[in-house]
Amino acid sequence: TEKKESYVQPALVKHELLDI
């Protein structure tokens, strides 16, 4: 009866060059 965690698609987001 172990409850599992909800799943979301793994995502990698690339940000601008630390250009900032």
| Sites of contact with other proteins (CB under 8 A) | 4-18
Is the Cβ of residue 1 or residue 9 nearer to other proteins in the bound state? 9
Smallest gap from Cβ 2 to other proteins, in A, equals: 9
Smallest gap from Cβ 13 to other proteins, in A, equals: 5
Smallest gap from Cβ 3 to other proteins, in A, equals: 9
Rounded CA separation 18/20 (Å): 5
